[in-house]
Amino acid sequence: MALAATVGSTAVVPGAVAEEPAAIRPSDAKTGTERLIETLSARLLAAHSATAVLEAWCAERGLATDPHLTAVRVPGRDKPLSAAQRERLQIGPDEPVRYRRVRLTCGGHVLSEADNWYVPGRLTPEMNTVLETTQTPFGRVVHPLLPSRRNLSLKMLWTPTEAEPPGPERKLFFVEAVLSTAAGLPFCEVAETYTGAVLARGEH
């Protein structure tokens, strides 16, 4: 499968749907790991919601009895929005933007960490309240907006040439994307880092 990325470098990803890779070969653990990573990254590039993809993945892998994700807030200082990000979101220098950093968990597995910059004025008051006061994943909160997802970049952080297979905390790949409403109005930029926990297999 030809993903628009190279290991250790960032590549621009077009908005086209990525092809689904072939099934993994259980006899080759390293190849199997690589193909699992390709499968998940391809699904994310092709989808409108990372939350929906991860919840489906959690269910497929049997990672929890309840495959719904929880967005655990990570404390710390807000990351300022750059001029380029404001341009992508089509907002001026004074438009309020909120920042949310979370770990997306399924059961006891931390599947990804995400930085999220969103324009509160383009969400409903109810959505803003839920984002501020609960651990509901962003994708589930904004689902009524029927958002589309435009991928900006994909960076592979793990390489099959490494001697050891990736552990649950190993960073596998990084994705940047902009979310827009059904009418095409951008309202959020995300930067997501996926971990080796996505490779786990549960017994549920």
User: For the chain, which domains are there?
Assistant: 26-199 (3.40.1410.10)
Sign of CA dihedral 2, 104, 197, 173: positive
* DSSP secondary structure letter of residue 107: T
Angle, helix 50-61 to helix 29-46, in steps of 10 degrees: 150
Which amino acid, one-letter code, is at 91? I
* DSSP secondary structure letter of residue 87: H
The pLDDT value recorded for residue 26 is 40
Dump pLDDT digits (tens) for 157-195. 999 888 888 999 999 999 999 999 999 999 999 999 999
Helix (H) or strand (E) holding 56: helix 50-61
The pLDDT value recorded for residue 28 is 55
Match 């827009």 to its residue by tokens. Answer: 180
The pLDDT value recorded for residue 203 is 62
**139 Cβ neighbours under 8 A, 6+ residues apart:** 49, 50, 51, 52, 147
The pLDDT value recorded for residue 29 is 58
Report yes or no: 44 and 50 within 8 Å, Cβ to Cβ.
yes
pTM of the predicted protein model? 0.84
Residues of the chain with confidence (pLDDT) below 50: 1-27, 204
